Structure 1
Amino acid sequence: MTASLDIAYPFTGCWIARYSPASRVPSHGTRMLASSYAIDFVPTSEDGRTAPITLGSLVRPEPADRFPGFGRPNLAPLGGVVVAAHGGEPDHPAYRGLPSVGYALTQHRRAAAGWVALAGNHVLIEHGGIVVALCHLRRGSIRVHAGQQVTTGDLLGDCGNSGNSTEPHVHVQAIDDREVERARAVRVTFGGTLPRDGEIVRA
């Protein structure tokens, strides 16, 4: 059984690491759905900033397309076979400030609804018995289908805000089974490294 998997960053440009297993495990505060070593990447402008926080940001949801990375390409981080591609979930508004509190209180509903409610639009790629998931893609943007062979750097879809997401980002995790509900988490690195929370990545 492979203890870890080294992959490429699934994007180009400037992104910031969030909920990194380099900073804590389980990285997202739960081991549910084999997410112990999952990591999020939030797209930013070249100076490392996401959408500016305004007074409105603190009191009401914001359109997802206000954020600099909404619609930015997400790429295959490794070669393999696409074993799942789901792209019909809606992109919802982003939640910061007070709206994020209300959104957090409804997270248990999404968790109870299962993988798709949490992952939103996603692509799963299998390589050597390990499956890598990219989640929260933009509705209608997925360019691949189940059974398709992909190589590192192939376009999979666009960064979105579907599923359990408070702002546009891509969630990456590796697992040891195609069925997420019975899988175990697999550690990942990116070009031999793993960024910590808050670290800026330029790919």
Structure 2
Amino acid sequence: MELIKEKIFVLFPMISTIGLLIVIPAVFLFTLWKTSFTSKFEWIVDAASTTAFVFWVFQSGNWAWIGYYFRYLLVIILIYVLIHSWRKVRASPFKIKYNSPQKFTIGMYLFLIVLFGSYNVFAITSYSTDDPAIELQFPLKGGAYYIGQGGNHVLLNYHQEYLPQQYALDILKVNALGIRANGLYPKDLDKYQIYGENLYSPCDAKVIEAQNGLPDFTPPDSDPENATGNYITLICDHSDATIYIAHMQEGSVMVNPDEMVKAGQKIGKVGNSGNTSEPHLHIHAEKDGVGIPIQFNNKFLARNNLMR
């Protein structure tokens, strides 16, 4: 039974990710491609619902699983399908007298337009915030780093549900193809691009807390009782907010409480300790028990942003 549960836990994120990023968009696009529309209005509502869905997936999907740049191919395919399907319907009347099944189909398309149109609006609003942000130096160097969780809305950043971790970022490293790991969900930690990456202090700061002795877990195992895993908390010289850097590699933490560090100073390595599904860097700023925005080079980051 435990083996079955583990297999389900491993397979679910892979299946759901492939479904969201590949299978469901393919169904939408294939339907638009093959349908013989009887009127331009039918085509418009189908095309609009397909476009709304594709752009929602473009904005909110976790593309580091199958390749960051693949999402641009999805948009190119959408444009091609729109042009192809329009050519088939451009000589048709704008509207006809629809039967009951046609009315139901049109109603479903209109519902999807409203639903995914709203999701797109929420995603767009996630790219910025009016709350004052703390400026930090990016804590990773020498690669392309992908924001897996980040932004100002729960659709792009699940941390927004938790007041102390609002605006938190989960950061991965991707290879030249924009993929975060060698395999969809490998157990070998070294197959994740970010595992073992050096971490650098994001500011001149005082170290408040440090944990160094917790183990790195093999995905999908985790440690909910020690959610942050090996971590460091800092208070930057230019702010009284507390900076949390979590899920560090066992034995890699190079600083101690009450130590002063400089911006850019090496402080440890990225690991997979604590309550984490796979190796990544978690970083957030907290003030009076509430998460506050952080930015790097005056840039507020959201899911699908890249830092180089």
**TM tier, shorter chain?**
0.7 to 0.9
Q: Deviations over 1:81-131 (max 9, x none)?
A: 000111111100123xxxxxxx6xxx8x82xx3xxx111111111023111
Determine whether 1:175 maps to 2:286: yes
Aligned length: 175
Question: Which one scores higher on RCO, CA 8 angstroms, separation ≥ 6?
Answer: 1
Aligned match of 1:15: 145
2:170 equivalent in structure 1: 40
Kept after mapping to 2: 8 A contact 1:23/1:197: no
Deviation at 1:45, TM superposition (A): 2.3
Assess, with a 3 A threshold, how the Cα gap between structure 1 residues 41 and 29 changes in structure 2: closer, same or farther. closer
Deviation at 1:22, TM superposition (A): 4.4
AA matched with 1:43: K
What is the deviation of 1:147? 0.5
Whether 1:184 aligns to 2:293 is no
Q: Over residues 38-79 of structure 1, what are the superposed CA-to-partner deviations in whole Å (9 max), with x where a residue is unaligned?
A: 01111222443221325xx4xxx6021221221110111111
Q: Does 1:123 align with 2:232?
A: yes
Q: How far, CA to CA, are the matches of 2:293 and 2:300 in structure 1?
A: 10
Distance 1:27 1:86 in 2: 26
1:139 shift after superposition: 0.3
Q: Which consecutive residues of structure 2, in runs of 5 or more, have no partner in the other structure?
A: 1-130
**Structure 1 residues not aligned, in runs of 5+:** 96-102, 178-182
**Partner SS, residue 119 of structure 1:** coil
Q: Give the superposition deviation at 1:30.
A: 5.1
Q: Deviation at 1:33?
A: 6.3
Is 1:142 the counterpart of 2:142? The answer is no
CA distance in 2, matches of 1:26, 1:35: 14
Aligned to 1:84: 209
State the TM-score, normalized to the length of structure 1: 0.78
3-state DSSP of counterpart to 1:142? coil
Distance 1:38 1:195, change over 3 A: same
Structure 1 residue 28 displacement after superposition: 2.1
**Equivalent residue letter for 1:199:** N
Larger Rg: 2
Identity %: 22
- Kindly indicate which of the two structures has a greater share of residues assigned to helix: 2
SS of 2:293's equivalent in the other structure is strand
Which SS does the other structure have where 2:231 is aligned? strand
Residue type at the aligned position of 2:249: R
Q: 2:271 & 2:177 partners in 1: Cα distance?
A: 21
Distance across 1 between alignment mates of 2:139 and 2:159 = 23
| Helix, strand or coil at the partner of 1:82 | strand
Match for 2:137: what amino acid?
A
Asked if 2 retains the 8 angstrom alpha-carbon contact of 1:16 and 1:199, the reply is yes
- Corresponding letter in the other structure for 1:118: A
AA matched with 1:146:
P
